[in-house]
Amino acid sequence: MASAFAYAPAPESRAIVDIAPSYGLFIDGEFTEAADGKVFKTVSPSTEEVLSEIAQAGAEDVDRAVRAARKAFEKWSALPGSERAKYLFRIARIIQERSRELAVLETLDNGKPIKETRDADLPLVAAHFFYYAGWADKLDHAGFGANPRPLGVAGQVIPWNFPLLMLAWKIAPALATGNTVVLKPAETTPLSALFFADICRQADLPRGVVNILPGYGDTGAALVAHPDVNKVAFTGSTAVGKEIAKTVAGSRKKLTLELGGKGANIVFDDAPIDQAVEGIVNGIFFNQGQVCCAGSRLLVQESIQDELLDSLKRRLSTLRLGDPLDKNTDIGAINSEEQLSRITTLVEAGEAEGAERWSPACEIPSSGYWFAPTLFTNVTQAHRIARDEIFGPVLSVLTFRTPDEAVAKANNTPYGLSAGIWTEKGSRILAVANKLRAGVVWSNTFNKFDPTSPFGGYKESGFGREGGRHGLEAYLDV
Q: Could you give the angle at the alpha carbon of 232 between the alpha carbons of 228 and 238, nearest 5°?
A: 140
Give pTM, 2 decimals. 0.96
Pairing of strands 153-157, 180-184: parallel
pLDDT in tens, 169-186: 999 999 999 999 999 999
Amino acid at 363: E
β-sheet bridge partners, residue 177: none
Q: Which residues contact 74 (CB under 8 A, 6 or more apart)?
A: none
pLDDT in tens, 77-118: 999 999 999 999 999 999 999 999 999 999 999 999 999 999
β-sheet bridge partners, residue 184: 157
Q: Which residues contact 404 (CB under 8 A, 6 or more apart)?
A: none
Of the listed 12, 106, 116, 292, which one is catalytic? 292
Is residue 258 part of the annotated active site? The answer reads: yes
Question: Rounded mean pLDDT of 437-453?
Answer: 97
β-sheet bridge partners, residue 156: 183, 233
- Helix H, strand E, coil C: the string for 409-428 is HHHCCCEECEEEEECCCHHH
Question: Rounded mean pLDDT of 243-254?
Answer: 96
pLDDT in tens, 190-214: 999 999 999 999 999 999 999 999 9
Is residue 388 pLDDT above 70, yes or no? yes
DSSP string, 126-192: HHHHHHHHHHTT-GGGSSS-SS-EE-SEEEEE--SSSHHHHHHHHHHHHHHTT-EEEEE--TT--HH
Judge whether 206 and 216 are in contact, CB under 8 Å.
no
Question: Rounded mean pLDDT of 1-26?
Answer: 88
Is residue 293 part of the annotated active site? The answer reads: no
The answer to which of 3-17, 169-183, 192-206, 429-443 has the lowest mean pLDDT is 3-17
3-state secondary structure of 217: helix
What percent of the chain is modeled with pLDDT above 90? 97
Pairing of strands 297-301, 264-267: parallel
Of the listed 106, 258, 389, 466, which one is catalytic? 258
Measured distance CA(32)–CA(75) in Å, rounded: 23
Is residue 3 pLDDT above 80, yes or no? no
Measured distance CA(218)–CA(147) in Å, rounded: 37
Is residue 454 pLDDT above 80, yes or no? yes
Measured distance CA(184)–CA(154) in Å, rounded: 11
DSSP string, 248-299: HTTS--EEEEE-----EEEE-TTS-HHHHHHHHHHHHHGGGG--TT---EEE
Measured distance CA(402)–CA(56) in Å, rounded: 53
CA quadruple 216, 417, 456, 89: dihedral sign? positive
Q: How sure is the predictor about 1, in pLDDT bands with cuts at 50, 70 and 90?
A: very low
Nearest CA among 268, 350, 281, 347 for reference residue 311:
281
Distance of CA 30 to the CA centre of its chain: 27
For position 285, what pLDDT does the model report? 98
CB-count exposure of residue 82 (10 Å: 0-12, 13-18, 19+): exposed
Q: How sure is the predictor about 2, in pLDDT bands with cuts at 50, 70 and 90?
A: low
For position 6, what pLDDT does the model report? 78
Q: How sure is the predictor about 5, in pLDDT bands with cuts at 50, 70 and 90?
A: confident
Q: Which residues contact 295 (CB under 8 A, 6 or more apart)?
A: 263, 264, 265, 279, 280, 283, 284, 395, 418, 419, 420, 446, 447
Measured distance CA(241)–CA(245) in Å, rounded: 6
Measured distance CA(442)–CA(65) in Å, rounded: 39
For position 399, what pLDDT does the model report? 98
